[in-house]
Structures are given as structure tokens and as C-alpha cells.
A and B are shown apart, each in its own frame.
Chain A
Amino acid sequence: MSSFRLLSFFLFLAYTPRGSFAEAPDNLAAVGPWRGQVLERGTLRPLALANVFILPEGLKVTTDQDGQFSFEQVPIETRDIVVTLTGYQRFKQTIDLSKRPQRLLLEKSSYVAFETKVIGRKDRKDASKATLSKEEFLKAPGSFGDPIRAVENLTGVVQSPLADVAIQGSPAEDTRYLINGHEIPFIFHFGGLNSVLLPESVDSVDFYSAGFGPEFGRASSGVINLVTKPPDQYRHGQMAFVDFLSSGGFAQGPASKNSSYFVGGRYSYAGEVIKAVSKSITPDDDEAGPPTFNTAPTYFDVNLQYYHQIHDKLQFTFLGIASQDRVDLIIEEPGDPTFSGGVDGLTEFFRLIPQLTLDLGKDEQLSASVGLGVDRQRFQPGNQSLNDVREQVTARAEWRKKAWSFLETSVGIDHLYQDYSLDARLSSSFFSRSEVRVPQSVSGLLIARAEASDFRQGYYWRNDLSFGSRKQWVFSPSLRADHFGLHESTQLQPRLTLRFKESEFASWFVQTGIYSQPIDPRLLDRQLGNPDLSPTYSRHYALRFDRDFRDGQAQGWQVRGGVFYKDLRDIVIDSPEFIDRGRGLEARRFANEGSGFAQGAESLLQYRTQDIAVNLGYTFTDSRRRDRGGAEYRSAQDQTHNANLTGIYNYKNWSFASRFRYVSGNPFTPVVGGVYFENADVYLPIPGGRFSERFEDFWQLDVRVDRKWIYDSWILSLYVDVQNITNKSNELGREYSFNFQQSGAVMGLPILPTFGVKGEF
């Protein structure tokens, strides 16, 4: 960066005549004004503060916020024009000044370099929060540019083959997924390769772990919040991409002087590829054929955004998102007769989220938003069926004020109302929590029809109290209260953060709090579940430190780390007992009789320059459970060691990225034998010690190469992303013969190369 400053300074000296250089010489025959605009080549983004010179006269002006410049008196003939701006290549061109207005295109020194950000100056109130910027997740190796897949590179995230995110030794169902603060039913499309929002529409993804603040609730482990990017207000732009798995694009731009829009979408044909592959496989006489598809697994998502600056203190944004996943699978020879005929599945949801933000003054802000939507799940495995529809309204509002120099306070609401309807004909073990699943055909089919309204109210009050001679202590006592309608239960959840700012770039945090999570309505259904279940409950304790050795510079080292402990209570487990609720003995099915803890340590070491980013994250986890006060056992999320090393190197318009992951093998419960259950024509597994064995340790190397070609008004990108480049066979599960007398490993994805092209217009 400094070299560009020097270059600018040199140009300034070299081409500036003595005296004023903004005045036109008197001896020119034809003079007049000359105006134009300086834009970034490729994106046509206006560039402010660029210096525009006319040579040899040495006339100079600087562009305004819209990239506009204007010379009032210049010779109307051919001249050399030079434009300089830090971070951009020097522009020099001979131009006929009689042609006007002029559009001057500056090419960035690199279109892949990291943006220069000074991290550390901004107060980091909540050490439980980690944020991935768009720039970071788009380039993250092994993530296909997906924001949630990139979250896997953070510390505290449990590596999982399933399409969800488990945090710090807790199950994934204890994680809540949000878009702009509003709850959505699932975060990944089928298979877990992509999340439900087009990455280009996401500004950042916030990841909250142990000890998170009162703004979020109804999650006993953590929260993932996708924050969308306001549409570009300066120029119209389009992007289209095609790759091995999906294609899509977006258009955005100004809608009026104070408003802008974004329209995007994506369609995946990955399933069509699988369908074609499975069709092409002709099994030998001795082999079962692969699953075949009536409808290949497909998904799409669409995304609309509108932004309006109503006046300088009031903003309105609107987000619309819809997502659908569908599959219809025929299984020729299912092990479990329940699946005879195949599996037909559909999940879809939409959300409409209008939001108002009002700036009430220097230290006061009010924001309010509503989410309207419908979630629908339809699942038909063989002769079973599940239709689950939820019409939801969510509401968030927050008033924040810095009341005094030492106190900042905020109060808010976080509500969810849903009308819920269920029409199901399911095996009674369909929602079983057991890690060794009894084949569903063993259990009788239950018929459940339910309609219910569920109002979950959340209120919070957060305070940040600074004290000490340098205000180096920040004490944040907060309170969250949730009322869970279906449970008819109110939960008070005090949360506390104490921060010590050792220096501007070094802080220590102590965080603790109580977290409560309602139970899925399906498990509260009297037929399928247990209406007497209570919300689950956990206590978090965390000690963290944050040291930025860059001391305000853009280059250097940063380290974060800490330890955490989570006390988990009222965990829902299977209950084979029968109880009398006034209508005779009936199956209890589930009970809040599990408990446990998750503890661990994590550290993240980062090194960053303009062209290099290296992250080394490590998490140690010890996660245990206990059922009904019985013997303690490891949980499924007990990943002792989880290490991620990622590196990105930018060279000109090339970007090279790589990720290496090492994770201890997940614990599992082996099956030690089987008993034939004649009615269902299947063998019942006889489980061994609970989570007494582990799969082999997991490791994988992923690489990604991006290349950009810059044209005047558009950018062409090509990327190659290869997952598991060494083709390492990683064990993800264990499979058994029909009678559980033989076993073998289920392996994860082999080497998976994908490539794609992207055009940004």
C-alpha cells in the first residue's frame, strides 16, 4: 500500500508545475470545461478520491463520491490523461478532450487481494461471536463459496457428515438458524453442499457459541445468523454462474435515487447427475442396484431484496427468500421393508422480512422487523407419511441507547408465533432419539393429526457498563425471558459478560448464562411424543482472550482462544415406559431424563497480509451424557481433536486456497448382534456399549483455484474446487449385514472436483 502512496506522491511532484495547478493556462486558443467519471474496470463502481491529471499542463482534480470530476478550463484537444488511486494500476491514456463526457476505467492492482481492514480497533463486545465476511467465505477452500460450509473452518464447530451445524459438543438440534435475526427451519439444502441463501447476497455470517448474549434465545447451544448484503446503490450489475452442481445468478442496482434492489436465484441439478449415474450402473446378478429416482434430488432458492433510505435517519429494507428441496427415490431392495416403494420428500419454506431502522441520534437507534412465512415438510417413506405445515410470524425489535458515557443499554423483543398442523401416519419409532435405530417396520404405525398455535415470546435487556480509569472494564449484566406457549412455561435466563481490555488490541472475557430451548411440537404431540416434556436447559461458562498483534496494522498475527463448559439438563431421551394421563396407560415415548456436559478449549491463530491469509484453528472437546442418572457415556459430538489449517494466497488475479482438516473419529455405538423380528421381516440390532467405539480419525485436504479476467464492464471468473484431493477414504458410518453378523465402513465422499464459470456484469 505504501508504494502506491509513494507513487501518487511522485506523480504529484513530477507533474505539478510551480504555483496553482487548478488554473488553465492563458495562452490556449480553445479552452473549455472537460468532465468525466472514474470507474473501476470490470465492476464500473464509481471511484472516489482518485487524482485525475491532464498533461503536460499538470492540471489536477480529485473525484467526488460518485467518481465524477470536472475541469473548468482546459485545452480542447488531445492530451495525456493520468489517473492515480491507491490500490489501482496507474491509468495513462491519450484522449481527445473534445469528446465528452469521458469515462475513465481504472484497473485494480488485484481483484482477488483481501480488502485492507484494520481489525481490533472496533470494540468486540461479545467474544462468543465469530464473523465471517463475504470475502472470507467466498474464498474459503472446501466450502464451494458457501457461507455456512465455511463456518466449518471456525473453532467450536463439530465436523459432521450431515446437513447441519453442531457447536461445541452439543447436538445440531440445539443450534438455531437465522436470517437477519429471523428463524428459518433449516440452513442447508439436501445433502449439505449448499446453504439456502445465494452466497453473493450474504454480507456476513455470525456464529455464536458458548456464552452468547441475550439478543438470541430458544437455542441451548448456539446460533448462526446470516446477514444479507444491502443491494448496490451505485450501479446496475448482474452475475451469472454455472458449475457442476448448480447454476444461478442475480441482478441488482439502484431503483431510484434512494433505493436499490437485488433479485437472485439458484437451481441445482446435482440430482440429475446422480440420477444419470445411477441409471448408467447395471448391477451384476449378484449385486443390488443403486437407488433409482422418480424425481432426482433437486433444489432451488430465490432471494429478493429492496433497500430504501427514506431519509437520512430512517432506512427500510425488505428481504424475501424461498427455498425448496425435493427428492423421490425408489429403493429396489431396502433393508427395512418400511422403505419398500421408496422415499418421497419435500421441504420448502419462504420468508418475507421487512425491516425499519431509525437513527434517533448520535447514540440511539431503534430497529424493528417482522418475518412472515410458511414452512412445509412432506415425507413419505414407503407406507408412512408426514405432512408438517407451520405458518410463522416472527418479530424482532430493539432500542439501543448510550445513556451515559459509561452505560449503553438495549432492550428488545424476539417473538415467534406459529400455527402448526400435522398429519402423520408414522412408525412409533420415527422420532426415536436412540443412536441405534430399531427398524421402523418393527413398530406399529401411529396416526396423528394435530393443529396447534404456539406463541414463543422473548424479551431481553442488555447493559454494557464501562468502568475503570481507562474504562478498561466492561461489565454486561443482561437478562432474557422466554415464554414458551406450548409448554406454558416461562424461563428467566440471566447472562453475564465481564471484559477486561488489557490494551486496545488485547482483551479478556468471562461469559456465563442460562439458555433454554423449547421442544419441537412434534415431540409434544400426544400420540407421537410426550406433551409433558419440558424445555431443555443449559448453563454456559466461558473464559476467552483475544490478542491482535497487528496493533492496528493490516498485516500480522492475531490469536484468539479460550475454554468453555456447558452444563446440559433436561435432555430429551427415549422412554419405553407407559404412563396414565387420564385415558388409560399409553406410551410415554420421551422424557427429559438426560443430562450431560460439554467442555473444551479452542484457539485460532491467524496471519494476514494483503495477499496471504492463514488460519489455524484447533478445538479440544470432551462431551458426555448420562441417562436417568445412569452411567456416563461419550456423546456423539465428542470430537476430541478438531484442527483446521486454511491458507489463501493471492497473486495478481489468481487466488490459490487450501484447507487441511483433521478430526478425531466420531464415537459410535457398535451393534454386537441381531434378533430376527418376524413380523417385520427384519433383524433388530443388539447395541453394544453406548458410544464405546470411534470411527477412524478423519482427515481431508481440499484445494481451490480462482482466476479472474477483467474486461471493461464485466469480470469473468473461473474456479476449480477439489474436495478431498488425496482421495482419502474417511469413515462416516458403519453398515451391517441384514443379521448384524458382518459389518463394514461407510465411506465419505471420494475426490470431488467441481469447476465453474461466473460472469459479473
Chain B
Amino acid sequence: MLASICFALTLTSCGSSDFTRFSELGGLRIVAVQVEDQLRAGVAEIDGNSTSPVTMRVTTYISDLNAEGRGFQVTVTGCVDPGVSQGAGFRCLDPQVIAFPNGGTFDTNLLSATRFTGSMTSFDLVINNPAELLSGRSDVQKFNGVNYLLNLTLTSGEESLSVIKSIPITTRILRNRNPEIDEVLLDGNALTSGPTTGGNLNLRLTPNGAAEVYEEMAFDGQITSQIEEYLITWFYSEGRVRPFRTVETQQPELVLRTSGPVLLMAVVRDRRGGVAVRVY
């Protein structure tokens, strides 16, 4: 019966222990992509009421420990969501090509120290007429948001890695903001650098400020208020964080069997496109 349960849960919880773990850093990973409206600090959504250009600053966080420094070609394209959740492919029919700095290249040696983990050079996404992209959409879609999909691909030799970031274009006035991380506590002490001592240690992330209240429109036009719930993903270079995905109130356990500097990364998402990253 357990097999049936696992099967019924579409294999979400019974994965093989032989597989590479989601949260273990080593190979090339794109860990997070943060966007921010250049006119409204912290806002992570595109103003769908605007008929003039809106510029969103895009910052990509990557990790590439094992390669120990290398160069990448970076290509960025974007389009309005063709219906990925309903089975459409990821390919945009008429993609917008977005320029990446330095002629579309990036070298991980530019990242912090020798950890080859951190934020890449930021670039700007310019949406010339967001209101036009919502033209013809239902009021519910306009309010709740139509997604603009940003597709960034890193290529080095034969290795290639893609990420899709979905940025809501919305007409609602109360816009979503990126969360902020106040501090990460390890056994009650604020972390300033990667953990160095072994053992079973408690982690806790404290966001800066309360979770946002936001509005959703139901199909009948009724607007209801919801409260954001942060989801934290923990990444590490050694040992194990269990569970690796937590909500704000949870305190996962960092299990370290060896002493030495460990790269620890916390990524906070508000499940609406807002994200914050802290690397130790």
C-alpha cells in the first residue's frame, strides 16, 4: 500500500536516495532570480496599468562549485506565458531578445572568493507597453496577473542550463514586493559566515518585516485578502539540511559530520514571484 501511496502522490516523496539531492551544491545551478521595478524599489511585479516602458532589474544567483571558475555565454529571451501550466511548451513563438551585459558573457571567477556562488551581473528587462500585453484579457486575469516568462540560458561548452522566471503583469495597485532577510540563526546565534563546526544544529531564518497581505480576485469578481507564506529553501555544500524546504516558523536541522567551512545559502520565496537570497 505504501507503494500505492507513493504512486498516488505522483512520486513526490518516495524518490530514490541514489539521486543527487535538490539542495546540495556542487554542479552548475541557478538558485534564484530576483526582479525589481527600477521605479519602485522592492516591487517584483510589472505595472500592468502603465502604457509607458517599465524597466525591471534582473539579478540571477548561481552556484558552480565543482568547475572552480569558468566562462559562460548568456542568452535571455522573454514572452507572455503561452500556457505552460496547461501543457504548452516553453518556447516563445515571437520572443523578445533581452541584452545581457559584457556581450552576453559571464565568468564565475567574478563571484565571491573561491566559492563560485553568488549573483551574476544584473541586467534590465524593459517592457515597452505593459498595458498592451493585458489587452483583451479578462478582469480576473488582469487583476491576478498575466505572467511574463523570462528565459535565461547559461552555456559553457556542451553544458547548458536554463531557468524560467515568471513575472506577473498586474493591474492591482497593491503590488508584490520582494521579501527581505533580517538574519539567519544557527543554534540561536546570528550567522556571519558559513558554519564551521560539526554536529546537529538548528537553523532559523528571520525575515525583515511581516508577511504581506495581498488580494486575489475570484472568478465572480469577488476580491479576497490573503497573507503571504514564505517558503525557504536551504542549500549547502557539505552535510545535510533536513528538511531542506521550510516555512518561516520551521527550524530545520543542519547535520554536519565534518568540521570545516560550509557554504550555506538561504532563499526565501513569497510564492508570488518575490525572492530574497543570503549566502554564507
A residues contacting B by CB (< 8 A) are: 161-163, 190-193, 270-271, 274, 277-278, 285-291, 297, 327, 329, 331-337, 339-341, 343, 383, 427-429, 432-434, 437-438, 441-449, 526-527, 574-578, 580, 583-589, 675-681, 684, 686, 732-733, 735-739, 741-742, 744, 746-749
Contacts and interface: CB of A to CB of B under 8 A. Distances in A.
A679 B269 contact: yes
Interface stretch (B12-20, B112-120, B203-211): B12-20
11 contacts: A285-B239, A335-B15, A336-B10, A427-B85, A444-B147, A576-B87, A584-B142, A586-B138, A677-B164, A684-B90, A686-B90
Contact of A341 (B19, B244, B247): B247
Nearest to B60: A678
Interface string B128-155: 0000000011111110110100000000
Contact of A684 (B84, B233, B245, B257): B84
Given A287-B17, A447-B218, A675-B163, A277 B2 contact: yes
Contacts of B255: 285
B138 A191 contact: no
Given A429-B85, A443-B85, A574-B87, A676 B30 contact: yes
Report which residue of B6, B13, B231, B267 has the largest number of chain A beta carbons within 10 angstroms of its beta carbon.
B13
A335 B142 CA distance: 30
Nearest to A748: B3
A444 B166 CA distance: 11
B86 A432 contact: yes
A514 to B, nearest CB: 29
Contacts, number: 219
4 nearest A-B pairs in the assembled complex, by CB-CB distance: A576-B83, A443-B85, A576-B88, A584-B138
Contact of A333 (B165, B224, B242): B242
B41 interface: no
A583 B138 contact: yes
Contacts of A741: 20
A680 B166 CA distance: 9
B243 interface: yes
Contacts of A744: 16, 18-19
B138 A746 contact: no
B240 interface: yes
B218 A449 contact: yes
Contact of B163 (A332, A587, A676): A676
B82 interface: yes
A331 B12 contact: yes
Nearest to A744: B16
Interface in B15-34: 15-22, 30, 32-33
Contacts of B141: 584-586
A675 B5 contact: no
B141 to A, nearest CB: 6
Nearest to A741: B20
B5 A742 contact: no
Contacts of A437: 10
A737 B18 CA distance: 9
B136 A584 contact: yes
Q: Which of B6, B88, B162, B219 has the most CB of A within 10 A?
A: B219
B13 A297 contact: no
B273 A679 contact: yes
Given A449-B220, A588-B86, A681-B267, 9 more contacts: A163-B4, A288-B17, A290-B14, A329-B9, A331-B13, A332-B243, A438-B85, A676-B30, A738-B22
B241 to A, nearest CB: 10
Most buried by A among B12, B88, B161: B12
B180 interface: no
Contact of A288 (B7, B15, B138): B15
A337 B90 CA distance: 21
Interface size class of chain B, counting residues whose CB lies under 8 Å from the partner chain: 35 or more
Given A193-B1, A297-B1, A584-B137, A334 B83 contact: no
A196 B118 CA distance: 56
Nearest to B166: A679
Contacts of B8: 162
Nearest to B20: A737
B144 A526 contact: no
B22 A574 contact: no
Given A274-B2, A584-B141, A746-B3, A681 B14 contact: no
Interface in B238-280: 239-240, 242-245, 247, 255, 257, 267, 269, 271, 273, 275
B212 interface: no
Nearest to A274: B2
B138 A331 contact: no
B124 interface: no
B14 A677 contact: no
A447 B219 contact: yes
A446 B17 CA distance: 34
Contact of B245 (A329, A337, A585): A337
Contact of B1 (A274, A433, A588): A274
A686 B164 CA distance: 13
Contacts of B269: 679, 681
Contacts of B183: none
Given A337-B231, A741-B20, A735 B15 contact: yes
Give the most central of B1, B21, B138, B140: most A CB within 10 Å.
B1
B86 A333 contact: no
Nearest to B3: A749
B10 A585 contact: no
A297 B8 CA distance: 13
Nearest to B88: A576
Nearest to B140: A586
Given A527-B219, A742-B20, A746-B7, A585 B137 contact: yes
Contact of A678 (B165, B218, B240, B244): B165
Contacts of B7: 161-162, 732-733, 746
A286 B15 CA distance: 13
Contacts of A576: 82-84, 86-88
B11 interface: yes
Contacts of B5: 191, 274, 291, 297, 327, 329
Contact of B4 (A192, A290, A334, A337): A192
Contacts of B32: 678
Nearest to B61: A678
Contacts of B240: 285-286
A679 B270 CA distance: 9
A335 B12 CA distance: 5
A444 B33 contact: no
A162 B166 CA distance: 34
Contacts of A575: 86-87
Nearest to B164: A677
Nearest to B220: A449
Given A286-B17, A584-B141, A333 B247 contact: no
B164 A335 contact: no
Best-buried of A271, A449, A585, A747 by chain B (most CB within 10 Å): A585
B75 to A, nearest CB: 14
A191 B7 CA distance: 10
Contacts of B30: 676, 678
A584 B139 CA distance: 7
A238 B82 CA distance: 62
Contacts of A340: 231, 245, 247
Nearest to B44: A679
A747 B3 contact: yes
B12 A336 contact: yes
A747 B219 CA distance: 42
A192 B245 CA distance: 31
A191 B4 CA distance: 6
Interface string B205-234: 000000000001011100010000101010
A686 B166 CA distance: 17
Nearest to A437: B10
A339 to B, nearest CB: 5
Contacts of A444: 85, 144-145, 147
A158 to B, nearest CB: 16
Contacts of A332: 13, 242-243
